[in-house]
Amino acid sequence: MTSSFAGTSHALSVALNEPRAKPFFEAIGGFGGGMFGGRLPDIIEPAITPRHRGPAHSLEAGVGAIWLSREVVPEWQAACRRLAEALTAKGTQFAAGSLQRMLCSFASIACYVFAGFLAGIGAGYVTHLVCDHGRPFLQALQNFTAVGLTL
């Protein structure tokens, strides 16, 4: 759930700073991207043992996700937004209410949603790593309180 929130928040913050973005649709995509990104480390390295955290759960993987989100994903998002604008323009060539115009509109919206999805993946991935690496501390804290000790 935290990964979905992170994906939504990141996609929305990026979209609000882009003049060609549609923040509502990109936030929806960010929710899905955050959910997918949050599951991705465990898809790559399934939790079949308690010590399943390897390269996909490393600091390097987190830095790589952040780098991709800052350097590569914005170009992909810009391409999605350009395609969405082209589809919207193409849709205006058809009669109002026609199937072709509606399909162009739906495809345009899908491009904006996908742009948000792309932004959400990295945020969800990093959130998963942060939550996983905070877990040993939380487990130790629970062990202290279980035996009656307080910090």
Span 66-121, pLDDT tens digits = 899 899 999 999 999 999 999 999 999 999 999 999 999 999 999 999 999 999 99
| Confidence label for 41 from pLDDT (cuts 50, 70 and 90) | confident
The pLDDT assigned to 104 comes to: 96
Is residue 119 assigned to a domain?
Answer: yes
What pLDDT is stored for residue 142 in this prediction? 52
Q: What pLDDT score was predicted for residue 150?
A: 44
Domain hosting residue 56, numbered range:
2-146
Q: Looking at the 3D structure of the chain, how many domains does it have?
A: 1
Is 14 contained in some domain? yes
**Cα 28 to Cα 56, 114, 120, distances in angstroms:** 26, 9, 10
66 lies in some domain: yes
Provide the greatest CA pair distance for the chain.
73
Is 6 domain-assigned? yes
Residue with tokens 């959400």: 120
- Does residue 151 form part of some domain? no
Mean pLDDT computed over every residue of the chain: 85
* 35-43 average pLDDT score: 90
In degrees rounded to 5, what are phi and psi of residue 22? Answer: -120, 95
pLDDT class for 151, splitting at 50, 70, 90?
Answer: very low
- Check residue 56 and report its DSSP letter: G
Q: Residue 39 above 80 pLDDT?
A: yes
For residues 93 and 47, the model is more confident at: 93
Residue 52's pLDDT band (boundaries 50, 70, 90)? low
Structure-block tokens of residue 133: 């690496």
138 falls within a domain: yes
Question: Is residue 130 a part of any domain in this protein?
Answer: yes
Q: Amino acid letter at 104?
A: C
